[in-house]
Amino acid sequence: MLRRYLAKRLLVAIPSLLIASLIVFTLPRLIPGDVVVLMLAEKAYAKDLDELRAKLGLDRPLPVQYVEWLGRVARGDLGESLWTKRPVLEEIGQRLPITFELAMFGLFFALLIAIPVGLIAAARQDTIQDYVARSAAILGLSVPGFWLATLLIVLPAIWWGWRPVTGFVEFSRDPVGHVTQLLLPALILGIATGAALMRLTRGMLLEVLRQDYVRTAWAKGLTERVIVMKHGLRNAIIPVVTLLGTQLPQVIGGTVIIETVFGLPGMSRFLFDAINQRDYPVIQGVNLVVVSLIVVINLTIDALYAVLDPRIRY
């Protein structure tokens, strides 16, 4: 049954992925005027416009260009960066692990904040703890990550003379230094997601704690800790796991700012630089890789959802 469900989800995911690829392909071609003229204005890349147009395959009809581009993508060829002249896939391969690590650490911090706070807020509904937790969650959703990052750089420097490490430390050189440098950026990245997850954890837990079996557990004389942790949280956690999937695009979007503020050479910063330099093959490549990763991760989360909750039959 699970296999059939996953096959069905895959069938739905394929058209979405194809439409996403069409969006990625179309975006640079929507630029008013001639993209080749723009490229030449940005950086002398070829001797004349026709040569560049032929090189990029822009002299053929759009549907042909799309099919050819898709064929190249299927063979792992995302083109060449206009600035570094290196294959886009190779460039992404070098930077993707940093962004992935940052996003995973961010999600870890988000869960670390969301579950205990959501649990306390639900278990102490309409008390001062609940109000503080809910207000803090809305505040967490309202504070811009780049401002928080700026404050966490400025204030400790003014008060204690401490500044976060600048410059990227590779894992192979100094594993501890590598992980340490990611902690602060990941914490900032995780705050907004943590706030959204906390609100969901609280809501789900409140719903579960009103179920009959929870009333039975109270009647049996079980302690609050057992009821909330064993009967409540276990059942409330499933939608939270699902929401992790929907939050993933936002976490990756957040890495654009965090990587820029902390000077981390990740994929999002690479995209940001490419946008500033109008490096279209890179913009297309990064967008395509990001969207494909998100679709695959969401599929995995769907599978995980089915495994986590044996009651679910597809």
Partner 1 sequence: MSTRVEIPQQVAPVKAAHARGRSWRGSIDTLRALGRFTRRKPLGAIGAVIVVALLVMAVFAEQIAPYGYDESIRGARMQSPSATYWLGTDNLSRDIWSRIVYGARVSITIGFATVGMAVALATTVGVSSGYFGGIYDLIVQRVVDAWLSFPALVIVLSVMAVLGPGLLNVALSLAIIIAAINSRVIRGATIAIAHGTYVEAARAVGCGHARIIMRHILPNVVATIIILATIGLGTAILAESALSFLGFGVPPPYPAWGAMLSGSGRTYMFRAPWMAIWPGVAISLAVFGFNMLGDALRDVLDPRLRGSGSVR
- Contacts for 172 with CB less than 8 Å, ≥ 6 apart: none
66: contact with partner 1 by CB under 8 A? no
Tell which positions 257-276 bind partner 1, by CB under 8 A: 257, 260, 268, 271-272, 275-276
182: contact with partner 1 by CB under 8 A? no
Written as one letter, the residue type at 153 is I
The token pair at 113 is 């904040």
CB of 22 to partner 1, least distance (A): 8
Q: In the set 155, 165, 183, 226, which binds partner 1 (CB under 8 A)? A: 155
How far lies 50's CA from each of 56, 65, 275, 281, in Å? 10, 16, 24, 18
Residue tagged 């490549």 (tokens):
285
- Are 76 and 27 a contacting pair, CB within 8 Å? no
Closer residue to partner 1 in complex, CB, 134/178: 134
138: contact with partner 1 by CB under 8 A? yes
- Long-range interactions of 84-87: CB distance < 8 A, separation 24+: none
Of 208, 190, 203, nearest to 130 (Cα)? 203
- Contacts for 257 with CB less than 8 Å, ≥ 6 apart: 145, 146, 149
233: contact with partner 1 by CB under 8 A? no
Tell which positions 68-127 bind partner 1, by CB under 8 A: none
Closer residue to partner 1 in complex, CB, 26/216: 26
- Are 181 and 165 a contacting pair, CB within 8 Å? yes
Stretch that binds partner 1, among 62-70, 85-93, 137-145, 303-311 (CB under 8 A): 137-145
Closer residue to partner 1 in complex, CB, 108/147: 147
Tell which positions 187-216 bind partner 1, by CB under 8 A: 192-193, 196, 199-200, 203
23: contact with partner 1 by CB under 8 A? yes
Q: In the set 10, 144, 170, 174, which binds partner 1 (CB under 8 A)? A: 144
- Are 277 and 84 a contacting pair, CB within 8 Å? no
16: contact with partner 1 by CB under 8 A? yes
52: contact with partner 1 by CB under 8 A? no
The continuous run of DSSP H or E covering 281 comes out as: helix 280-308
Closer residue to partner 1 in complex, CB, 49/153: 153
Closer residue to partner 1 in complex, CB, 199/231: 199
Helical segments of 171-266, H only: 175-209, 212-219, 224-226, 234-262
The token pair at 33 is 């005027």
Cα radius of gyration rounded to whole Å, the chain = 24
Q: Summarize as ranges the residues that interact with partner 1 (CB under 8 A).
A: 12, 15-17, 19-20, 22-23, 27-28, 30-31, 131, 134-135, 138-139, 141-148, 150-151, 153-155, 157-158, 192-193, 196, 199-200, 203, 249-254, 256-257, 260, 268, 271-272, 275-276, 278, 283, 286-287, 290-291, 294-295, 298
